[in-house]
Amino acid sequence: MEQYQSQLDGIFQALADPTRRAVVGRLGRGPASVGELAAPFDMALPSFMKHIHMLEGAGLIRTSKAGRVRTCTIEQTRLAAVDGWLSEQRAIWEGRTDRLEQFVTQDKEPKK
């Protein structure tokens, strides 16, 4: 609950860059290698890798290496934290300040 805040720091920070948001968007279509992900960007690989590391650090993606290829996968559940924070805000300004704990501490369930 204290670390909820620092997690949000990392998540929002990671999403505050267009390159990283684009990577998240791409990974939404399915896993991809670092090379594939980097291709669309006019940027040296080491620079691009920093973005990958930051996304992984924020928990927004997972990566694993097979041979010389590192494959990245999106971690959808982490975006739920953003969703949770938004719900929290909405709850506040709608006057429903109760039930906040639910948004904050548990992963949001498929809201269908």
Partner DNA sequence: TTGATACTGTTCCATAAGGCTAAGTATCAT
Partner DNA sequence: ATGATACTTAGCCTTATGGAACAGTATCAA
Q: Which parts of this chain interact with its own copies (CB under 8 A)?
A: 5-6, 8-9, 12-13, 15-18, 21, 24-25, 28-29, 74, 76, 79, 82-83, 85-86, 88-89, 92-93, 97
Across the beta sheet with 32-33, the strand order is 32-33, 69-74, 61-66
Axis crossing angle, helix 45-57 with helix 3-15, rounded to the nearest 10: 150
Nearer to DNA, 19 or 87 (CB): 19
**Helix, strand or coil for residue 37?**
helix
d(CA 103, CA 86): 9
* Backbone dihedral region for residue 31 (phi beyond 0: left; psi -120 to 50: alpha; all else: beta): beta
Nearer to DNA, 47 or 102 (CB): 47
Fill in the per-residue mask, 46 to 75: x = in contact with DNA (CB under 7 A), - = not in contact.
xx-xxx--x----------xxxxxx-----
Nearer to its own copies, 30 or 67 (CB): 30
Interface residue list for DNA (CB under 7 A) = 13, 16-17, 19, 33-36, 42-47, 49-51, 54, 65-70
